[in-house]
Amino acid sequence: MSKPLEGIKIIDFTHVQAGPACTQLLAWFGADVIKVERPGAGDVTRNQLRHVKDADALYFTMLNSNKRSLTLDTKTAQGKEVLTKLIQDSDVMVENFGPGALDRMGFTWEHIQSLNPGMILASVKGFSEGHAYEDLKVYENVAQCAGGAASTTGFWDGPPTVSAAALGDSNTGMHLAIGILTALHQKIKTGKGQKVAVSMQDSVLNLCRVKLRDQQRLDALGYLEEYPQYPHGEFSDVVPRGGNAGGGGQPGWVLKCKGWETDPNAYIYFTVQGHAWAPICKALNKPEWIDDPAYNTAEARQDKIFDIFAFIENWLADKTKFEAIDILRKFDIPCAPVLSMKEIANDPSLRASGTVVEVDHPKLGKYLTVGSPIKFSDVTVEVTASPLLGQHTNEVLAQLGYSQEEISAMHDAKAV
Ligand code: COA
C-alpha cells in the first residue's frame, strides 16, 4: 500500500535535532527525504556521543531514519549546481542553519522561488524574524530559557530548570511539520509554494501557554490557588516555579512508594480529581473523608492538600509503584508510575504499539528508537535504519540526470 506522502520530495538541509525530527516524521509517512550533508563530515550528530567506534551515534540514527543521504559541498560551484537541480526537482526544502547561512550560500528565498515557484521553504531559527535576538544561534536549553519553560520549571527554592523533554528541538520540528503539511495543502489550491518559518522560542512558548494564563491571573489576584505556594506561602509578581503541582484545576503531586530510599523512580503521580473524591477516599480506606465538610470540596482541601499527600504516601509505603497503580486504577483515579528509561525501553506495550522500535543498522547493530507517536488506521509506519554518510549520493545524482563520468568527476573534485 502506498504511503500518504509518497511522491513528495524533500531536501533535508537540516542538522542536530529540530530540523531532523521534522523531516524524519515526514519520511515515516512516505516522503522521499534526501539529507544533504557536507562531504567527509555530515551532520555533526553522527559524531556526537558515539558509543560504538566508527559507527554513527545514536543521536544521529534516532533522528534520521527512513532518509537518503547525499553528500554535497554547497559552497562549490558544482555543489551549487546540484542543489539548484534538486530545488527544481523537489517540493519542500527544510533547513535549520544559523541565521543568514542559506543566504550566504547564495540561496535566498527570492532565488529559490525563481528556481521553483512551487517550492515550500521551511526553516527553524532560534527566534522569529524581526525579533530583537534574531541573529542568535540557539540550542535546546537556550530556547527553553527564552520561551518561558525554564523560569516556570523546577522547585520554588531552586534555580530555573530546563526539562529533559526537547521542547526547543523536537517540539519545534513537530510545529514545522504541521506548517509544511499546511503549506502543501494550500499548494493544492493555489499551485504556489511559500516560506514556512518556526522559531524555537515561539514553539516553547506555545507549550507554556498555561503559564502565560497564570501570569495574567496573578496580575489580577496576587495569588494562584493551584500552586503549592497557596495558601501558606508568598507570591511575588511573577509566576513561580510550582514543583510537581498539576497545572490545571486538579491538584497532583509526585508521591513516594515502597523502595524510594534506593530506587530513584519508586514514585507515582497522583491526581486529586475533584469529582473523584469519593473513590479516592475508598481506595485509601478513608471513608470518613467522603462527606466530611473539612475535606469534601476542593476548596476545603486546599489548605491541607500536602497533609493529604502525606497521608497517601503513608498508604503507599508498603506498595511498589506498580502495585499502587493496580489498586488505584480500579477506582478510576488519574495516576501513573514514574517510569525510568530502562522500564520504558523494556515495556512490552510500547514495543507492541510501535512506539519503541528495534532497528538494525549496518554498523551500529541493533538499537532502539522512538517510532511514530501518531497512529493511523490506514497507514503503517515502518522505521528503517538511518543512512550512512553519502550512502545515496550516486543514486540521487543519477536520478537528477548526471552521467557516471560526471558523478566521478564530482567525487574527484570533492564536491560530493
Ligand atoms: N556544504 C557546505 N557548507 C555547508 C553545508 C554543506 N553541505 N552545510 C552547512 N554548511 C555551512 C553553512 O553554510 C554555514 O556556513 P557559513 O556560516 O560560513 O555561512 C556553516 O556550515 C555552519 O552553519 P550553522 O548552521 O551556523 O552551524 P553552527 O554549527 O555554527 O550552528 C546551530 C549550529 C544549531 C546553533 C545553528 O545552526 C542554529 O542556530 N540553527 C537554528 C536553530 C536551530 O535549529 N538550533 C538547533 C536545534 S537542534
Predicted pLDDT of residue 274: 87
Q: Which atom of ligand 1 is nearest to the CA of 200?
A: 42
pLDDT at residue 316 tops 80? yes
Predicted pLDDT of residue 246: 86
Pocket perturbation via mutation, ligand 1, pick of 84, 97, 102, 174 by most ligand atoms within 8 A of CB: 97
144 Cβ below 6 A of ligand 1: no
36 Cβ below 6 A of ligand 1: yes
Q: Which atom of ligand 1 is nearest to the CA of 137?
A: 39
What separation in Å is there between the alpha carbon of 101 and the centre of ligand 1? 7
pLDDT at residue 243 tops 70? yes
Catalytic residue selected from 43, 169, 202, 214: 169
Active site residue 157: no
State the burial class of residue 19 (Cβ atoms within 10 Å of its Cβ: 0-12, 13-18, 19+): buried
Q: How far apart are CA 181 and CA 235, in angstroms?
A: 43
169 Cβ below 6 A of ligand 1: yes
- 3-state SS, 248-314, equals CCCCEEEEECCCCCCCCCCEEEEECCHHHHHHHHHHCCCHHHCCCCCCCCHHHHHCCHHHHHHHHHH
What average pLDDT does the segment 142-166 reach? 97
pLDDT at residue 16 tops 80? yes
pLDDT in tens, 251-293: 999 999 999 999 999 999 999 998 899 999 999 999 999 999 9
pLDDT in tens, 110-129: 999 999 999 999 999 999 99
101 Cβ below 6 A of ligand 1: yes
Assess contact for 302 and 272: CB atoms under 8 A.
Answer: no
73 Cβ below 6 A of ligand 1: yes
CB atoms within 10 A of CB 221: 10
Per-residue confidence band for 249, with pLDDT thresholds at 50, 70 and 90 = confident
pLDDT at residue 1 tops 80? no
Predicted pLDDT of residue 262: 98
Pocket perturbation via mutation, ligand 1, pick of 37, 60, 94, 137 by most ligand atoms within 8 A of CB: 137
pLDDT at residue 56 tops 70? yes
CB atoms within 10 A of CB 39: 19
Instruction: State phi, psi for 64 to the nearest 5 degrees.
Output: -135, 30
Q: Which residue in 369, 389, 392, 367 sits closest to 381, CA to CA? A: 369
74 Cβ below 6 A of ligand 1: yes
